[in-house]
């Protein structure tokens, strides 16, 4: 399913909404994949980082946090009703995640 996310129509729609699309490129061919890898090596050699790369890294960090909250701290199945209760449930997950990260720093 991820293969079509870099379609021009999706990027154009995102730009039309006033957003900056942060979509990883799908090479689709060995030639394009080799060209992308060569370009990445060149950028790394001269320590060149694009604004899109920085945003993508920030997005992937957020996605990892969201994934951990869902998988390890109970946000996948919320069994309460009401905005306040759901918010409290999710915030307990955030607190637990924060404590977990702090414990890793202390170790």
Structure tokens at 100: 């977990």
> How far apart are the C-alpha atoms of 49 and 2, rounded to whole Å?
24
Contact 15, 21 (CB under 8 A): yes
Contact 11, 21 (CB under 8 A): yes
Model pLDDT, residue 49: 87
Please check whether residue 16 lies inside any domain of the structure.
no
> 95 falls in which pLDDT band (50, 70, 90)?
very high
pTM over 0.75: no
Tens of pLDDT along 46-67? 999 888 888 888 888 888 999 9
pLDDT above 60: residue 1 = no
Please check whether residue 8 lies inside any domain of the structure.
no
Please check whether residue 86 lies inside any domain of the structure.
yes
The count of structural domains within the chain is: 1
Domain range for 79 is 49-106
Tens of pLDDT along 7-50? 889 889 989 999 988 887 788 778 888 998 999 899 989 999 88
Mean pLDDT computed over 81-94: 94
Please check whether residue 98 lies inside any domain of the structure.
yes
Please check whether residue 17 lies inside any domain of the structure.
no
Model pLDDT, residue 2: 63
Please check whether residue 15 lies inside any domain of the structure.
no
- The 8-class DSSP code of residue 2 comes to G
Residue 66 neighbours by CB under 8 Å, 6+ apart: none
Which of these, 4, 9, 11, 10, lies nearest to 28 by C-alpha position?
Answer: 4
């Amino acid at each position: 399913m991820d293969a079509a996310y870099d379609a021009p129509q999706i990027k154009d729609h995102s730009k039309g909404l006033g957003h900056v699309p942060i979509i990883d490129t799908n090479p689709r061919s060995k030639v394009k994949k080799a060209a992308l890898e060569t370009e990445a090596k060149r950028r790394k050699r001269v320590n060149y980082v694009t604004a899109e790369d920085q945003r993508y890294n920030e997005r992937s960090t957020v996605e990892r946090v969201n994934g951990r909250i869902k998988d390890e701290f109970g946000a996948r199945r919320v069994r309460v009703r009401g905005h306040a209760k759901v918010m409290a449930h999710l915030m307990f997950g955030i607190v637990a995640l924060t404590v977990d990260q702090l414990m890793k720093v202390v170790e």
